[in-house]
């Protein structure tokens, strides 16, 4: 069995679904079910004995210790995190609690768990920490992409909390010998992404005839990674990664936010024709504080050492993503609760028009 934290969220749920589609090894899924954790993401696993779900907090040391004692997983895959930059600006304390304190609690529980295993089990055990490229800071247009040796320079409360968790993971390996693996990924997109992130938000607003709010001039560049490719990378790192190592995972698809939104409009115009181009719905709003200008990932290490590279081009992945959201409008309406709508209004409604 493997333990997955945050397995009802966007990336975690995709990983659990992919894992059980390819393996009969059971998954113990620990998720607090905060605003972005949604058991509806895992509806297809209802009644499947290979999926054991526990609602709980990764910062609850007693619970985590009890689960490790009962289920004795061979690996912990740590996805659970507060992850939205805008939310971290409004409420940074929760990010410190979950991303820093929660990771510390998991590491200590894993260290105690490792001591209970026999020699063969200890040799095979892994703690895989899923992190982000945002820990590296921002890049100028001509800067080389982030590599695994790029100095950390986080610029948002979210990025700082993830950087802190990365440092804890590194320290627990070097000080205590915990067999850790860390992955730093670029911007994920795909099915089940909570509709406050750029791509699903724009799809929902475009279909509803609402404005498409783009920060600043829309020229912030991100490297886009299809979530299925990310899941494949994590499986490969778990299988063959070297303990103590960091692996950057990117999609080799740098795009400016405005170009992403324009591409979405074009796909929707083709699949769901409207009276006019949805590009007319694009609305520029005041930029968020400290908005990083560019991220880019150098993923040559994971390709060279583990043979992984993304299978999806951005164009193909984006088309698949739009088609998924069009086919799952019930899922979208269910997650667009009153709390979600209040958040969108609070975050975007008061920014005003920046054009």
- Whether pLDDT at 137 is above 80: yes
What SS3 class is residue 228?
helix
pTM above 0.85, yes or no: yes
Does 134 qualify as catalytic in the annotation?
Answer: yes
| pLDDT per position as a tens digit, 280-322 | 999 999 998 888 899 999 999 999 999 999 999 999 999 999 9
Residue range 54-66: mean pLDDT, rounded = 97
- Whether pLDDT at 64 is above 80: yes
| pLDDT per position as a tens digit, 161-218 | 999 999 999 999 999 999 999 999 999 999 999 888 899 999 999 999 999 999 999 9
* Predicted pLDDT at 261: 98
Strand 27-31 with 2-5, pairing: parallel
* Predicted pLDDT at 355: 38
What SS3 class is residue 271?
helix
Domain 2-189+226-253+296-312, second-level architecture? 3-Layer(aba) Sandwich (3.40)
Selected catalytic residue, list 31, 82, 134, 292:
134
- Whether pLDDT at 62 is above 50: yes
| pLDDT per position as a tens digit, 80-131 | 998 778 888 989 999 999 999 999 999 999 999 999 999 999 999 999 999 9
Q: What are phi and psi of 180, to 5 degrees?
A: -95, 160
Selected catalytic residue, list 86, 133, 166, 223:
133
C-alpha–C-alpha distance, residues 296 and 39, integer Å: 32
Question: Domain residues of the chain, as ranges?
Answer: 2-189+226-253+296-312
Does 108 qualify as catalytic in the annotation?
Answer: no
Does 325 qualify as catalytic in the annotation?
Answer: no
Selected catalytic residue, list 57, 86, 104, 158:
158
Q: Chain-wide mean pLDDT for the chain?
A: 93
């Amino acid at each position: 069995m493997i333990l997955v934290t945050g397995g009802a969220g966007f990336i975690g749920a995709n990983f659990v679904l992919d894992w059980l589609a390819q393996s009969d090894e059971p998954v113990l899924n620990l998720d607090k079910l905060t605003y972005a954790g949604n058991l509806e993401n895992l509806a297809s696993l209802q009644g499947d004995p290979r999926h054991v779900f526990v609602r709980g907090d990764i910062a609850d040391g007693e619970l985590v210790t009890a689960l490790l004692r009962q289920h004795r997983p061979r690996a912990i895959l740590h996805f659970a995190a507060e992850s939205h930059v805008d939310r971290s600006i409004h409420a940074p304390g929760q990010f410190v609690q979950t991303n820093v304190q929660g990771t510390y609690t998991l590491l200590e529980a894993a260290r105690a768990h490792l001591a209970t295993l026999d020699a063969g089990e200890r040799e095979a055990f892994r703690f895989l920490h899923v992190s982000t490229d945002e820990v590296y800071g921002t890049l100028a247009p001509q800067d080389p992409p982030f590599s695994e040796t790029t100095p950390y320079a986080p610029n948002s409360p979210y990025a700082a909390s993830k950087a802190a968790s990365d440092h804890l993971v590194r320290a627990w390996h070097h000080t205590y010998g915990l067999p850790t693996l860390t992955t730093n990924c670029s911007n994920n997109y795909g099915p089940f992404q909570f509709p406050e992130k750029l791509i699903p938000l724009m799809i929902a607003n475009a279909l509803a005839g609402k404005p498409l709010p783009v920060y600043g001039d829309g020229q912030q560049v991100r490297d886009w990674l299809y979530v299925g490719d990310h899941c494949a990378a994590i499986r490969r790192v778990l299988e063959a990664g070297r303990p103590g190592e960091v692996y950057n995972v990117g999609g080799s698809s740098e795009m400016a936010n405005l170009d992403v939104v324009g591409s979405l409009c074009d796909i929707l115009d083709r699949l769901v024709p409207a009276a006019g181009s949805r590009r007319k719905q694009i609305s520029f709003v005041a930029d968020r504080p400290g908005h990083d200008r560019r991220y880019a990932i150098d993923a040559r290490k994971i390709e060279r050492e583990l043979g992984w590279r993304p299978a999806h081009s951005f164009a193909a992945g984006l088309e698949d993503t739009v088609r998924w959201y069009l086919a799952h409008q019930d899922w979208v309406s269910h997650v667009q609760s009153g709390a979600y709508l209040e958040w969108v209004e609070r975050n975007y409604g008061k920014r005003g028009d920046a054009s």
